[in-house]
Amino acid sequence: MRIALGVEYEGGGFHGWQSQRDGGGVQDHLEAALARVAADPVAVVGAGRTDAGVHATAQVAHFDTGSRRSPRSWVLGANSHLPPTASVQWACEVAPDFHARYSALYRRYRYTLLCRPARSALYRDRAWWLHQRVDPSRLAAAASLLLGERDFSAFRAAACQAKRPWRHLQRVAVRADGEFIHLEFTANAFLHHMVRNVVGSLVRVATGEAEPGWIRDVLASGDRRLAGMTAPAQGLTLVEVAYADHWGVPPAGASTR
């Protein structure tokens, strides 16, 4: 049978989602925990390969197993063997052709900026601290120029393994909340470092270093060297992976009761 899971994790203590030789990936810890519950080896497939330091509130994964356990048993059993910075939120049996990565309709990431003169002790691992003034309206104006199906080569990491650089950026939302600014990006899929590279460029505009139209020029160039810096990993969180209703996958924020 195939089981789908909803997983959250604080990314600072992991070497990214993907399995690592040293066993430091979220995938490594999750497979080891589930194997204890299944009493058999388990291979997990995730919806997105988050980088080291990137968080998730709604990562989705699936695995195949011949062991029968209740959804609650998968959740409680896995969590009893996971480190405190990772947790399974729900589990459910899905159709054998469901795929956490390829069945997804879209992904949504949130990037958080903390804008104030002094650094934060409490949010040092959850936001990018900027001591200069940031204009949310300039952020939104520049971000709107990236919407649609486009070649995002200018915001792609050199190590990106995607076969094509085209992605459909469906929505960008900018929300100011006191000293915080939250940027949410919704797309069918993302390139390696795409959100962090976009944010690094948007911040140049928001601080007045570049005009909003500069983003359009960088995008059209396809040249990563012309874009801004790669924003720090700790400000980024995977907050939703959406699927068609017929798969029966719980929405973001769900948990097993």
Instruction: Please tell me which residue in 22, 28, 40, 51 is annotated as part of the active site.
Output: 51
Q: Are 207 and 100 in contact (CB under 8 A)?
A: no
Q: Which among 40, 87, 95 has a CA at the least distance from the CA of 68?
A: 40
From CA 77, how far away is CA 73, in angstroms rounded?
A: 5
Q: Are 17 and 49 in contact (CB under 8 A)?
A: yes
String of DSSP letters for the chain: -EEEEEEEE-GGGSS-SS--TTS-SHHHHHHHHHHHHHTS---EEES--PPTT-EEEEEEEEEE-S----HHHHHHHHHTTS-TTEEEEEEEEE-TT--TTTT-SEEEEEEEEEESSS--SSSTTTSEEE-S---HHHHHHHHGGG-EEEE-GGG--TT---S--EEEEEEEEEEEETTEEEEEEEES---TTHHHHHHHHHHHHHTTSS-THHHHHHHHHT-GGGS-PPPPGGGEEEEEEE--GGG-PPPTT----
**51 catalytic per annotation:** yes
Q: Are 170 and 189 in contact (CB under 8 A)?
A: no
Tell me the catalytic residues. Answer: 51
